Amino acid sequence: MSAVVGQQNRADAQQVSITNLDDRGEQEPREECGVFGVWAPGEDVSKLTYFGLFALQHRGQEAGGIAVGDDDRIVVFKDMGLVSQIFDESILNSLHGDVAIGHTRYSTAGGKEWANVQPMFGTSESGVDIALGHNGNLVNFQDLLDETHERGLIKPEQKTVSDTMILTSLLSAGVDADNTLWDSARELLPRVHGAYCLTFTDGHTLYAARDPYGVRPLTIGRLPTGWVVASETCALDIVGAQFIREVEPGELVAIDEAGVRSERFAETQHRGCVFEYVYLARPDSQIRGRTVNEARVDIGKRLAEYSPVDDADLVIPVPESGTPAAVGYSRGSGIPFGQGLVKNAYVGRTFIQPTQTLRQLGIRLKLNPLREVIEGKKLVVVDDSIVRGNTQRALIRMLREAGAAEVHVRIASPPVKWPCFYGIDFASPGELIANGGAADDGETVTETIRAAINADSLAFVTIDDMVDSTRQPRNELCTACFDGTYPLGLPDGNPNANAVRTLLGDEK
């Protein structure tokens, strides 16, 4: 017996983030999602999953869901919105079982529709229920979709299809009287190419898997009565789990009453996403032995050393993601650190369509300057990245209107020149302010951007300094969005990927 429930009362509402809109409608880089799983008999696994997703909310604010396995059935509850908007005490109390997985989503593959909200649910022909959550993007999406069409798993006329839906269909199809879900995963995963972290369950066992390159983080934690798998260590902390280790790239893990067992389905080739250190992950999370906060503070110190601002009065961050690097810049330069911008902590994603008037308010919906702090000051403003440049342009205009004497911008990552196909929703190549082709001179790009955003000066950290701050070897990190080198290749049939191929001359 299986049961799938969920709400669609807001499924048709158009979600628009007013937190990230400026006067031209720019949106910040978007993480694709966060995954969580727990196996803990006797514990309230639905509430543990809720709090785990709460810790991972920064990885996706569009939708969320929880699937709980209770022996003979899996119950899935999911909806559009923030985790705190979807679940309440009564819903969580109705989700009983020993194993659960959860997901919080921002869409990159598949549309912004309720049908694509995760966890996905499927049933094999032998009657085994499966729920799956996925973080990442697949490079061979089209090949796998074609396979589902050929096998009759997904109808060709079906318009709403995500890579997670494809994975769920193929996993379910591989389970029969002779093959368990473990067997199905062992057969399928070597054929899946791209960036993926998975948590899935058949209602009895918690499974987790990570792509051979380890693009997105995935960790294992220990509870007194069970185990937890989560995208980031901050989610382990919030549920009281002790960090044990990361799921290795190319590793399939199963957790149940027999303990933890694992198997390598592919050779490990570390290519972790460097943007996790720059922006995506929470500062209190740890990746490969180094906290994200440490890396960001170190980047700020390097910016201060190589891109100083003489006689500046104050270093201020663009909260919150620019704060650690701003702290590092202040420490490295000796310039006082100050909070010159106040962030509205309660502005989240909204189901209300902003009017043109609200769009014109721009960044003020999210940030407001403290005039008494910045008036007459020569400022160093530290931010995590520049994508299109519209947000920085609006921010600098706002600071000047509030009385700033000079605004010098320092960016804790190199210029973003190339779109990501591994789980971050960047703009298309032509929309990226720094993208002038692979042969562009760095100084020319920086000066062009400085003039466009109207800063008194602008400097970016170099790729080498950014990588060094992570304490990881450069050949074990993916830096594609900065240098156009795509270690997992480019997806077929993707217009942005075709544009990248043209710009790179099919060299990478």
Taking CA 297 as the corner, what is the angle to CA 474 and CA 488, rounded to the nearest 5 degrees?
30
Alpha-carbon distance of 401 to 407, in angstroms, equals: 12
48-53 long-range contacts, CB within 8 A, separation 24+: 48/100, 48/228, 48/239, 49/100, 49/101, 49/102, 50/83, 50/87, 50/92, 50/102, 51/238, 51/239, 52/102, 52/228, 52/230, 52/235, 52/238, 52/239, 53/83, 53/102, 53/103, 53/104, 53/235
* DSSP code of residue 355: P
Alpha-carbon distance of 386 to 365, in angstroms, equals: 19
* DSSP code of residue 420: -
Alpha-carbon distance of 97 to 100, in angstroms, equals: 7
Peptide bond into 415 cis (omega under 30): no
* DSSP code of residue 439: T
Residue located via tokens 């057969």: 187
Gyration radius (Cα) of the chain, Å: 23
Q: Note the maximum CA span of the chain.
A: 75
Q: What amino acid is encoded at 362 in this protein?
A: G
- Asked if residue 238 lies in contact with residue 214, where contact means CB atoms within 8 angstroms, the answer is no
- Asked if residue 52 lies in contact with residue 219, where contact means CB atoms within 8 angstroms, the answer is no
Q: How many CA atoms lie within 13 A of 170 on its CB side?
A: 23
Alpha-carbon distance of 36 to 63, in angstroms, equals: 14
- Asked if residue 233 lies in contact with residue 286, where contact means CB atoms within 8 angstroms, the answer is yes
Is 33 an active-site residue?
Answer: yes
- Which among 33, 189, 315, 387 is annotated as catalytic? 33
Q: Is 197 annotated as a binding residue?
A: no
First to last CA, the chain: 49
Residue 209, SS3 per DSSP: strand
Alpha-carbon distance of 45 to 190, in angstroms, equals: 30
How many CB atoms lie under 10 A from the CB of residue 468? 17
- Asked if residue 309 lies in contact with residue 379, where contact means CB atoms within 8 angstroms, the answer is no
Q: Is 478 annotated as a binding residue?
A: yes
Count of residues making up the chain: 508
Q: Is 321 annotated as a binding residue?
A: yes
CA distances to 83, 139, 207 from 134, in Å: 17, 14, 12
Q: Is 234 annotated as a binding residue?
A: no
Q: What amino acid is encoded at 501 in this protein?
A: R
> Helix (H) and strand (E) counts for the chain?
17, 26
Q: Is 98 annotated as a binding residue?
A: no
Residue numbers annotated as active site: 33
Going by the annotation, the residues of the binding site for Mg(2+) are: 321, 383-384
Going by the annotation, the residues of the binding site are: 273, 321, 383-384, 420, 478, 481
